[in-house]
Amino acid sequence: MNKQYIKKNMKKLPNRKHTKRLAALVYDKALREQIEERVKSKYIKRIEYLVGANNELMKELEQYERVSLSEKI
């Protein structure tokens, strides 16, 4: 092979520096999305739990209010 042929074909290959950088960016983005999903899942579960607990407390409060109103009558 001659030097000109090698130089010509080397230009066709992607720059390794850019390829590594792109791979790192793709990996970072995927990792960031995975972390975001975990956090969302965690907080959605927590919010649902708190709303359920709040609803239970509200029912208890309403029940006590009804009992206290009936005692006044």
Question: Within a domain: residue 56?
Answer: yes
pLDDT in tens, 19-52: 788 889 999 999 999 999 999 999 999 999 999 9
Question: Within a domain: residue 60?
Answer: yes
Question: Within a domain: residue 7?
Answer: no
What does pTM read for this prediction?
0.49
Question: Within a domain: residue 54?
Answer: yes
pLDDT in tens, 54-66: 999 999 999 998 8
Question: Within a domain: residue 51?
Answer: yes
Question: Within a domain: residue 2?
Answer: no
Write the secondary structure of the chain as one string of H (helix), E (strand) and C (coil): CCHHHHHHHHHHCCCHHHHHHHHHHHHHHHHHHHHHHHHHHHHHHHHHHHHHHHHHHHHHHHHHHHHHHHHHC
Structural domain for 24, as ranges: 13-72
* Number of domains forming the structure of the chain: 1
Question: Within a domain: residue 21?
Answer: yes
